Amino acid sequence: MLAAIASATLRGTMGSPVSVEVHVSTGLPGFTIVGLPDAAVREARDRVRAAFLSSGLSWPMRRITCNLAPSGMRKGGAGLDLPIAVGLLVATGEVDAASTQGLAFCGELGLNGSLRHVPGMIALADATAPRGLVVPLCDAREAALVRGGDVHGAANLGDLARVLRGQAPWPEPPPPSRAPSSAHEPDLADVRGQAVGRRALEVAAAGRHHLLMIGPPGSGKTMLAERLAGLLPPLTPDEALTVTRIHSAAGCSLPDGTLFHRPPFRAPHHQASVVSLVGGGSWSLRPGEVSLATSGVLFLDELGEFPVAALEALRQPLEEGVIRVSRAGGTVTFPAAFLLVAAMNPCPCGEGVYEGACTCSAVARARYRRRISAPLLDRFDLVVPLSRPDPDELLSGVPGESSTAVAVRVAAARARAAARPVPERGPDLAPDADALLGSKLRSGALSARGLHKVSQVARTVADLAGEDAVSFAQVAEALSLRAGRAAVVS
């Protein structure tokens, strides 16, 4: 007898519909899965059989063939366990085919028959519409974020079989998601002094300028970077869905089980693998840190310690806002549009040129600088030298301005920039500001690309001040916000 059950498989951050066909016939007992299954799907045979036996369901001693259609597309992950099991129940006459009409099934089976979490439930729920969807009870709330009321949860295969036979009602859906609590984000009020670093954060947030902070240990680079996401505006509904979909596909838990509403902050360690940074994996192709930081902040502390391969892999997302990952399982394009903030010591010993206490040899310093390639360095509009804070400021006990106050200025500057028509020939500069840039260009202190960057940053500084024309002082500030390049360009 033949059964066809609707399901879906995850490809990157998107789901693709899959029809699971199960055929049971006389012949030598066996269980074959065809239709480009990955290793996890092939192992479904063992999980499904054990789950049947643990749930008190009889295992057919017949020839079982399972086809995953369309057969040309690779299928990954353990989420097809449940539709295979349900197809088997229908094909053996344990449950009526009519009871599965209009329903799709996604879930992993434990050997004891329990239904387990599968990553990417948001994408799978999208791909199985407009059918009703049956998922593990623990995933019902996540699936309902994009589907609303037609999601059913089941705790285990035995319970599900009783529901499909009409012997029990669907289990109570989990309570609706709580309103998102105001998650705690670190506040700029905790940062004493650090006028240059605070200003750099504000300009970075207002103009979406990538920021590199260069300073010795103890100069507050990490503390500042952790406060950048808190200055960004809340996510738009589209951004919220994209960010949540990426986190769901990566198997991350969602904040309070609801959509993300604040920009994410990701801070991968420099010893993290390149795959965890850019995404990938052998078959199922999970999104990496650059994608998890989409619409938020990617913080790379100790930038000079990251492997060169990892830093070079950042160039595509920084240029295109996406990352393409190719593995045996195919090529997948992940979103990867983030605000990059990085921090590094000025030299291996950390003391650098600013403190005058550096003990590094000229060779060691040159080698350290070469780790950051010129094309990567060019991606940073802001390269800011930081020094250790003044002890008097630390001891004064006067709190800094709060993130909320700065975020108000950032939002106003962004609104101002969004309302302005795109200028044909760069920003509107006051004559003396134009002359200042011209003299930097002629003296060789600025390249043509650098000139463009400085005028963009100066435009953001003017937007923060609420001014239409860019003044001499604003260009001078933009120049000072890239003064750190002197420390890393030999």
Contacts of 303 (CB under 8 A, 6+ apart): 212, 270, 311, 342, 343, 344, 372
Output 50 or 353, the one with its CB closest to Zn ion: 353
Q: How far is the CB of 213 from Zn ion (least distance, A)?
A: 17
Output 317 or 352, the one with its CB closest to Zn ion: 352
Output 93 or 218, the one with its CB closest to Zn ion: 218
Q: Which two tokens stand for residue 48?
A: 């499904």
Q: How far is the CB of 205 from Zn ion (least distance, A)?
A: 31
Distance CA 384, CA 197 (A): 7
Q: Which two tokens stand for residue 333?
A: 């394009």
* Cis peptide upstream of residue 130 (ω within 30 degrees of 0): yes
Output 136 or 346, the one with its CB closest to Zn ion: 346
314 CB neighbour count, 10 Å cutoff: 22
- Scan residues 328-387 and list those touching Zn ion (CB under 5 A): 347, 349, 358, 360
DSSP string, 332-363: EEEE---EEEEEE-SSTTS-HHHHT-----HH
Distance CA 218, CA 340 (A): 21
Contacts of 407 (CB under 8 A, 6+ apart): 205, 230, 231, 232, 233
Q: How far is the CB of 302 from Zn ion (least distance, A)?
A: 14
Q: How far is the CB of 357 from Zn ion (least distance, A)?
A: 8
Q: Is 174 exposed, middle or buried (0-12, 13-18, 19+ CB in 10 A)?
A: middle
DSSP string, 137-183: GGGHHHHHHHHGGGEEEESBHHHHHHHHTTSSPPPPPPPPPPPPP--
Distance CA 317, CA 145 (A): 28
- Give the binding-site size for Zn ion (rule: CB under 5 A): 4
Residues making up the chain, counted from first to last: 490
Output 366 or 415, the one with its CB closest to Zn ion: 366
Q: How far is the CB of 387 from Zn ion (least distance, A)?
A: 14
Distance CA 291, CA 13 (A): 10
Output 280 or 352, the one with its CB closest to Zn ion: 352
Q: What does the per-residue mask of binding to Zn ion show for 224-243, with x meaning CB under 5 A?
A: --------------------
Distance CA 70, CA 237 (A): 33
Q: How far is the CB of 155 from Zn ion (least distance, A)?
A: 59
For residues 300 and 334, the answer to whether their CB atoms sit within 8 Å is: no
Q: How far is the CB of 340 from Zn ion (least distance, A)?
A: 25
Output 347 or 475, the one with its CB closest to Zn ion: 347
Output 364 or 377, the one with its CB closest to Zn ion: 364
Judged by CB under 5 A, does residue 446 bind Zn ion? no
Q: How far is the CB of 305 from Zn ion (least distance, A)?
A: 15
Output 7 or 219, the one with its CB closest to Zn ion: 219
Query: Residues in the site for Zn ion, rule: CB under 5 A?
Result: 347, 349, 358, 360
